[in-house]
């Protein structure tokens, strides 16, 4: 059941220990949490190892076992560093157990890992996920240790501590002969069913006698006959530590199923075993035992969860009485509810399970397993009927549970995890008190403050979680789904030395002490690094000596790098600490030092509130990571007074003025400049600054990302408003119209609107493949702005070389990112049919003139096989000339090609049959896509027709004539349509008895008789068939072929040596 648990197979051993031979493992993002207020360490659950954790904690808190194990040194056990040496004798299991015990006693972490220990067992990850029986594990682990310790001074460790003897006696009633059989035991198994408690079960086993009488007689060896006799059992030898396993699981033979006994079964804290022993003449102290560990099983017979109540014999933990009311009342209520109610709300159960998980999310299947362990019953059995499937239930509560995108993992949303922990414990369990009374690196541990109660105290060790409990809480484990499963007693005579009390370092070997000290030092270092990383903030200090104030904002007089000093500081430090740190950095600073919050704006650096209150923490005053702080005297910078605060934020406005219109020139020109004003500036002040000679101001409220709006005039009554109150922000534009420009303004519906020039923006992105390729700029334009002007403005804004103007063009970008045909540079925005706000690409290549066409073309209609290419041709070029240019660019030759338009299905459509016609005459437009198609078009007045032969059907029905068969296949004609531009189809068509005969070229004015003769005669010569004339033989093909798409398909149908066309 436990795989290779006790074979000393070195291939499974991990070298992941402190010191040499350290095995590298992925470093976790954060170091393990320190111990909580109990000062005891839990053990991590590897998925299903709660039974192992409970047993290991029991052995750890058995001081005599722990010290006997520690007494075995490297000279007897070897070392883990030698485990890879082929000739070395290394006893892996006791070495890993020693190391785990040292970690649990000394390593300052909330929970230790048993990975190395289980690897020494030879367990796979699958084995770690399976839950086993703790009683069986106890026996097998003891057997493994005995085997591993053969040949050492600890060879009798298990027998010395746990071995006892039971003697079974049968006494003959006639000759009084006594027949006895002796049995060794390491643990006693006692019945639970039908028994009130442990004392009654021991009485039934070792006091009550069984009688052989009537039909059930005993054959006496001395009398050599069947006689009456009595049978009894006694404890002959008592071990120092008595392990008792309770038979909680039984089998119901009527229902043929296992079940768990949940009835009341009491056990005492102290027990006198004298009545059950063979020898009773010794002192009572020889028979007195004290309970020190109770392994508890919670669940049913097919699964559940183990944890352990342990009495802290050496008083290693901190047991605090004030937690009694805070932490345990809720646990009591939960236990009582779980044991008394058969059904309950699953929401709280699932939240409780997920809140205990260290990982943010666990697999849904693992959640179901943990529910089974916690409640002793599966989801399907207890909740599915009322609440549906588990995964569906989780999906129906998205406000609480967070599922992964594939729905296979689930976790609690952070807010609910925190709330649940606060509610369940009365305090924030995620932030336990940083209390650590053990001086880990000292040679001797000073005494710690103890609780006021005398005697040893009990703790509940539940995997990683450790919490104090009261002794009377043991009574709750007498019965119910959560009840005692194994009991561990120690002789009352066993007394601990005073130096062991409260001293976790007692009897630990020196090499393990050194290893744990080094590990604790490393842990503290990692925690300090993590703490610094999580609480450290980077501040950007701007020094006033490196700045000057102009145009409404602060600007560095040197480069940005030289004007800013970066400082990293703990957010929990005070403002006074920050000020002192700045003073130390700036040794030459003289006079007062004022620290102000700063923020980079489009206009420059602006200052806000002064940081005040040296006793306040940086986090408390709102200093965040990456904050900008300005260091100055609080009055002026470079002799200029600086206004601070949000009421004086500088705003960058784009100021547009209409330029003089050049006579005969195309398009409307205007000048553009940027001005900075305080947001508290009134419109009257703005008007005086921008239009001192008079005129009107219009605004367009769209900023850098806004959409264009109508231009609105600021009226006389608006002049008292401020820049901020009228909605002017960074990037907004204002238009200044002088008196001679005001003819463009009209009053409409009480609102003044400038409508003649709809000034807005076009976006231009650099696609030239040079530096700053991804940069995008906005260019102010009107519908009358010429494209060449827009291109030049974009080149300047993108800071490109102006020589690029002769080698580039502007191309609109479609919604899916495709570059469309270039816009002629002499077009206006209106002529180019561009919408304001459109995105243009600045691309290499000259733009076509207004008399040229920019065309796309491909060879064949399959876009996957032939990439789309581009070409610029004159609109007066003929179809043949255009075709030759396309063939030349695609590297093709020959005259067996023609051009077709691309239809709406992105397939080759109408052929450009008039090869001498110009592209303009055929209405070929800029941006059209043409297809270069293989095959020569028929001459003018001729048609090229594909011919199919429908062969006789082998499935002719009785009484079916030829016409019926013809009618029966007409519904299949859609599948036989073949474009004249397409490649030749397959010679045969599976399932339709069709055979492709080829294409013929015939005049459009030819009769059906001519078509018949031209189609059938070659076929007749090949196959030797005769031909029957069609009705209406003088009908012209031109009219007949118009009946089915642009090009018809003719079929020859053979039946009884005749052909029919349809």
pLDDT of residue 169: 92
530-539, 631-640, 937-946: least confidently modelled range: 937-946
Average pLDDT over residues 412-438: 46
> CB-side exposure of 879: number of CA atoms within 13 Å?
20
CA-to-CA dists, residue 329 to 499, 662, 980, 992, angstroms: 35, 91, 88, 83
Lowest mean pLDDT among 217-226, 419-428, 592-601, 813-822: 419-428
Q: What contacts 388, CB < 8 A, 6 or more positions away?
A: 396
Report the alpha-carbon distance of residue 102 to residue 59 in Å, rounded.
13
pTM for the model stands at: 0.52
- Tokens 């005001």 locate to 742
Of 531-535, 771-775, 915-919, which gets the smallest average pLDDT?
771-775
CA–CA separation, 393 vs 397, rounded Å?
A: 7
Lowest mean pLDDT: which of 496-505, 756-765, 836-845? 756-765
Quote the pLDDT of residue 433: 36
pLDDT in tens, 201-212: 999 999 988 899
Q: What is the mean pLDDT of residues 348-358?
A: 81
Which candidate, 380, 383, 379, 419, places its Cα nearest to that of 399? 419
723 to 651, 682, 691, 701, 734: CA distances (angstroms): 8, 6, 16, 11, 11
Which stretches does DSSP call E strand in 101-228?
A: 111-112, 164-172, 178-185, 188-191, 210-212, 218-220, 225-227
Residue 1045's pLDDT is what?
33
* Predicted pLDDT at 294: 96
Higher pLDDT, 498 or 669: 498
Q: What is the mean pLDDT of residues 582-596?
A: 84
172 band by pLDDT with thresholds 50, 70 and 90: very high
Strand-pair category, 776-781 with 760-766 = antiparallel
Structure tokens at 277: 């022993």
Arithmetic mean of pLDDT, 871-885: 90
At residue 750, does pLDDT exceed 80? no
Whole-number percent of the chain with pLDDT over 70: 76
End-to-end CA separation in angstroms for the chain: 80
304 vs 459 pLDDT, higher one? 459
Question: Whose CA is closest to 634, among 615, 610, 618?
Answer: 610
Query: What's the pLDDT at 256?
Result: 86
Residue predicted with more confidence, 282 or 398: 282
Residue 553: beta bridge partners?
550
**What is the average pLDDT across 447-457?**
49
Overall average pLDDT of the 562-568 stretch:
88
- pLDDT tens profile 824-859: 888 888 888 888 778 899 888 888 887 888 898 888
- Read off the pLDDT band of 691 (50, 70, 90): confident
581 vs 128 pLDDT, higher one = 581
Cα dihedral 673, 679, 681, 686 in deg (nearest 10): 20
Whole-number average pLDDT of the chain: 77
Report, as residue numbers or ranges, the catalytic residues.
50, 305
Residue 365 is predicted with a pLDDT of 77
> What pLDDT, on the 0 to 100 scale, is given for residue 380?
79
List Cβ neighbours of 330 (8 Å cut-off, separation of 6 or more): 424, 425, 426
996 vs 1021, more confident: 996
Q: How confident is the model at residue 669 (pLDDT cuts 50, 70, 90)?
A: low
- pLDDT at residue 978 in the model: 47
Q: What is the pLDDT of residues 55-85, one digit of tens each?
A: 999 999 999 999 999 999 989 888 888 777 7
**In the chain, % of residues over pLDDT 90:** 27
Strand residue runs (E) in 302-408: 303-311, 362-363, 401-403
Residue 966 has a pLDDT of 58
For residue 8, the model assigns a pLDDT of: 37
């Amino acid at each position: 059941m436990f795989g290779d648990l006790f074979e000393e197979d070195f291939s499974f051993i991990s070298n992941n220990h402190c010191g040499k031979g350290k095995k590298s493992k992925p470093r976790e993002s954060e170091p393990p949490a320190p111990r909580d207020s109990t000062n005891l360490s839990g053990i991590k659950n590897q998925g299903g190892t709660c039974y192992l954790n409970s047993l290991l904690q029991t052995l750890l808190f058995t001081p005599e076992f722990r010290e006997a194990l520690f007494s075995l040194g490297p000279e007897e056990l070897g070392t883990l560093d030698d485990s890879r040496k082929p000739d070395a004798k290394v006893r892996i299991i006791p070495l890993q157990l020693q190391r785990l015990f040292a970690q649990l006693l000394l390593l300052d972490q909330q929970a230790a890992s048993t990975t190395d220990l289980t690897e020494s067992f030879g367990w796979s990850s699958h084995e770690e996920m399976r839950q086993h029986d703790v009683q069986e594990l106890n026996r097998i682990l003891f057997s493994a240790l005995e085997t591993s310790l053969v040949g050492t001074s600890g060879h009798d460790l298990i027998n010395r501590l746990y071995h006892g003897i039971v003697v079974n006696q049968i006494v003959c009633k006639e000759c009084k002969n006594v027949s006895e059989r002796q049995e060794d035991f390491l643990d006693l198994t006692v019945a639970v069913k039908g028994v009130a408690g442990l004392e009654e079960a021991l009485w039934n086993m070792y006091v009550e006698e069984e009688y052989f009488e009537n039909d059930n007689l005993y054959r006496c060896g001395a009398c050599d006959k069947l006689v009456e006799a009595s049978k009894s059992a006694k404890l002959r030898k008592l071990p120092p530590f008595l392990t008792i396993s309770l038979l909680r699981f039984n089998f119901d033979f009527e229902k043929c199923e296992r079940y768990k006994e949940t009835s009341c079964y009491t056990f005492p804290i102290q027990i006198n075993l004298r009545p059950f022993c063979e020898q009773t003449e010794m002192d009572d102290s020889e028979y007195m035992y004290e309970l020190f560990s109770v392994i508890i099983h919670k669940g049913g017979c097919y699964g559940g969860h183990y944890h352990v109540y342990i009495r802290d014999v050496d008083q290693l933990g901190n047991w605090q009485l004030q937690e009694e009311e805070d932490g345990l009342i809720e646990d009591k209520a939960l236990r009582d509810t779980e044991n008394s109610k058969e059904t309950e709300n699953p929401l709280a159960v699932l939240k409780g399970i997920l809140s205990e998980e260290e990982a943010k999310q666990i697999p849904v299947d693992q959640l179901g397993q943990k529910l089974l362990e916690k409640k002793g019953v599966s989801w399907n059995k207890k909740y599915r009927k009322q609440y549906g499937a588990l995964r569906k239930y989780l999906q129906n509560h998205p406000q609480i549970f967070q599922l992964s995108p594939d729905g296979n993992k689930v976790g609690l949303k952070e807010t609910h995890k925190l709330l649940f922990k606060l509610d369940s414990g009365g305090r924030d369990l995620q932030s336990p008190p940083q209390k650590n009374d053990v001086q880990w690196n000292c040679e001797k541990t000073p005494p710690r403050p103890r609780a006021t109660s005398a005697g040893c105290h009990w703790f509940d060790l539940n995997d990683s979680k450790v919490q104090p409990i009261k002794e009377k809480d043991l009574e709750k484990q007498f019965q119910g789904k959560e009840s005692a499963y194994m009991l561990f007693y120690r002789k009352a005579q066993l007394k601990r030395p005073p130096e062991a009390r409260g001293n976790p370092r007692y009897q630990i070997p020196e090499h393990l002490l050194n290893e744990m000290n080094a590990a604790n030092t490393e842990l503290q270092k990692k925690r300090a690094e993590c703490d610094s990383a999580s609480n450290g903030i980077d501040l950007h200090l701007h020094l006033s000596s490196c700045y000057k104030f102009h145009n409404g904002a602060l600007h560095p007089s040197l480069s940005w790098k030289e004007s800013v000093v970066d400082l990293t500081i703990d957010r929990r430090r005070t403002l006074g600490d920050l000020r002192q740190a700045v003073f130390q950095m700036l040794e030459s600073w003289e006079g007062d030092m004022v620290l102000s919050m700063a923020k980079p704006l489009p206009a420059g650096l602006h200052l806000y509130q002064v940081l005040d209150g040296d006793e306040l923490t940086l986090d408390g005053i709102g200093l965040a990571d990456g904050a900008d702080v300005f260091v100055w005297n609080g009055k002026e910078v470079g002799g200029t007074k600086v206004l601070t605060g949000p009421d004086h934020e500088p705003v960058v406005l784009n100021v547009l003025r209409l330029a003089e219109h050049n006579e005969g020139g195309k398009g409307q020109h205007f000048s553009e400049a940027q001005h900075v004003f305080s947001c508290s500036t009134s419109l009257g002040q703005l008007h005086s600054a921008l239009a001192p000679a008079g005129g009107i101001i219009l605004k367009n409220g769209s900023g850098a990302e806004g959409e264009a709006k109508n231009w609105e005039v600021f009226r006389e009554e608006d002049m008292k408003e401020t820049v901020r109150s009228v909605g002017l922000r960074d990037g907004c534009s204002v238009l200044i119209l002088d008196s001679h420009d005001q003819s463009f303004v009209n009053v409409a519906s009480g609102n003044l609107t400038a409508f003649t020039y709809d000034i807005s923006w076009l976006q231009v992105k650099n696609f030239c493949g040079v530096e700053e390729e991804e940069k995008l700029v906005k260019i102010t334009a009107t519908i009358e702005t010429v494209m060449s002007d827009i291109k030049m403005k974009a080149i300047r804004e993108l800071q490109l070389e102006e020589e690029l103007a002769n080698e580039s063009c502007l191309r609109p970008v479609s919604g899916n990112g495709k570059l469309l045909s270039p816009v002629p540079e002499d077009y206006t925005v209106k002529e180019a049919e561009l919408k304001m706000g459109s995105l243009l690409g600045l691309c290499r290549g000259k733009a076509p003139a207004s008399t040229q066409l920019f065309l796309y073309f491909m060879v064949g209609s399959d876009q996957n096989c032939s990439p789309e290419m581009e070409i610029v041709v004159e609109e007066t070029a003929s179809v043949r000339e255009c075709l030759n240019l396309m063939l030349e660019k695609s590297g093709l030759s020959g005259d067996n090609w023609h051009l077709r338009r691309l239809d709406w299905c992105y397939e080759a459509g109408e052929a450009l049959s008039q090869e001498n016609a110009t592209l303009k005459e055929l209405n070929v437009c800029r941006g059209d896509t043409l297809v270069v198609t293989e095959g020569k078009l028929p001459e003018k007045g001729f048609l090229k027709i594909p011919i199919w032969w429908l062969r006789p059907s082998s499935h002719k029905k009785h009484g079916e004539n030829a016409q019926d068969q013809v009618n029966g296949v007409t519904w299949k004609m859609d599948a036989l349509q073949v474009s004249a531009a397409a490649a030749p189809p397959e010679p045969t068509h599976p399932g339709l008895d069709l055979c492709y005969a080829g294409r013929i070229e015939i005049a459009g004015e030819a009769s059906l008789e001519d078509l018949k003769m031209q189609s059938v005669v070659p076929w007749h010569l090949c196959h030797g068939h005769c031909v029957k004339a069609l009705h209406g033989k003088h009908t012209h093909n031109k009219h007949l072929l118009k009946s089915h798409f642009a090009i018809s398909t003719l079929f020859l149908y053979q039946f009884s040596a005749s052909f029919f066309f349809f």
